[in-house]
Chains A and B, each alone.
Chain A
């Protein structure tokens, strides 16, 4: 008797092994060329003259000031945008009012406006030639070419990230759980912290991480409002550009590597959190 070939079942949506490997291969090749290669190139460039040269280039006053400034801006802009994003998403999803569609469009505005234009708007509004800006300068408050302007520009550009992540999640969840909490005697404030926030925490985390990555990396709007004053208003991206233009390649790429590392750390954090809470996550998704 001839051998009986083992019968193999394949579900309707499953591709042949060949097609599967081909698709996976293409995906990896794409990732390698578009993501990994540039990332490795940045680190390689930074280390061309050895690790010591790279570290030394980061140790001077201007470089340290840029790193500090970027971290400060992120530390201000991201929490504020998280708070505004939550408020906006909450308002849009929990209430019915006229002009809702318009408000949602408005939230997307920073995505469609070029950051440079956004920066110019801030200069026009708060520059010393404007009414408001002139008055503020007279009171001793400098917005443009100073920290407040950079924070404003960063916040404008990164505003949609949190709200955009939250709105669909909050629409999907509706108001029922919050109403249940209220009927059980919880105050509005307690309901917010024990029901609303836990229900949106993953979307919130994701939005905050995206917002964070973009806030650290923002170039265009900040370039306009900061005035690029070395050691004062030059953020990391601005400093990288200036160093690169001056052919200080090691210094430029060292700082670029630090910026990339900061982004990678955020990603790692998100992945760790997801792994740690995987059970709970899947239990909730099936609900």
Chain B
């Protein structure tokens, strides 16, 4: 799905989290929002997911105005920074949640739900953990379960807030490849937030560098490396 962000701004009281930003994300792209802490990455992602509403500007999905769509109507697969798995449910029930929450008319049969959850567990290469609780998983496993849960609703896009933030370097590398594979397999437009420039450069088709609520540069990783548009980008990439 093609995502278009038109002059979106966001005020929290007197702080401007986003000064008007515009961005066009082609269908099927894997995009990194890269920037230092407080630059507005999470805010932009939450606005796309419908968890936050912009103070001004419009969001378009495939050319259609989506600014006023509710969070449920957006059908965005959202992976939270701390994963936000439902702690009182098993991994199976976590992944099945989006399917069982559907209105009765469009809700799949129990057997069909079980089949899809099993398939997703295989996709994240954790076929045997359906019966466990989130507290019984490692950080990397939790992250993959969160991804499977988001994929279960057959989302129109994937939004991930620092998906690898809380993990050690080795696991990060593995999961990076895992995300790339899942993106290539599903073809979903995917946006992930990171403040790790290696991660952004290595994984993304398109990198959006942000600072202080503004977009500093949009480009392919190689272009940003070769031709930083502003002093900020040069310094941030150089670091």
Contacts and interface: CB of A to CB of B under 8 A. Distances in A.
B158 to A, nearest CB: 11
Given A199-B88, A287-B135, A185 B51 contact: no
Given A183-B71, A185-B153, A283 B78 contact: no
Most A CB contacts (10 A, CB to CB) among B82, B84, B85, B98 go to B84
A184 interface: yes
Given A179-B51, A180-B80, A284 B87 contact: yes
Interface string A182-214: 111111001000110011000000000000000
Contacts of B72: 182-183, 185-187
Given A184-B101, A284-B87, A179 B80 contact: yes
B55 interface: no
A280 B82 CA distance: 21
Interface string A231-255: 0000000000000000000000000
Contacts of A285: 135
Nearest to A182: B71
A137 interface: no
Given A185-B102, A186-B101, A284-B135, A180 B87 contact: no
Nearest to A187: B72
A108 to B, nearest CB: 28
B2 to A, nearest CB: 20
The interface size bin for chain A is 20 to 34
B84 A176 contact: yes
Given A185-B75, A186-B97, A283-B133, A179 B84 contact: yes
Interface in A120-172: none
A186 B85 CA distance: 15
Contacts of B149: 180, 184
Interface string A246-287: 000000000000000000000000000000000010011111
Contacts of B101: 181, 184-187, 190, 194
Nearest to B152: A184
A177 interface: yes
A283 B135 contact: yes
Nearest to A176: B84
A185 B74 CA distance: 9
B76 interface: yes
B49 interface: yes
Nearest to A183: B78
A180 B134 contact: no
Contacts of B135: 283-287
B86 interface: yes
B98 A184 contact: yes
A3 to B, nearest CB: 46
B68 interface: no
B136 interface: yes
Contact of B84 (A180, A185, A283): A180
A186 B101 CA distance: 5
Nearest to B132: A283
Interface in B72-105: 72, 74-78, 80, 82, 84-88, 97-98, 101-102
6 contacts: A183-B49, A183-B150, A184-B101, A184-B152, A195-B86, A285-B135
Interface of A: 176-177, 179-187, 190, 194-195, 198-199, 280, 283-287
Given A180-B85, A183-B76, A287-B133, 6 more contacts: A177-B85, A177-B86, A183-B72, A184-B98, A185-B72, A185-B101
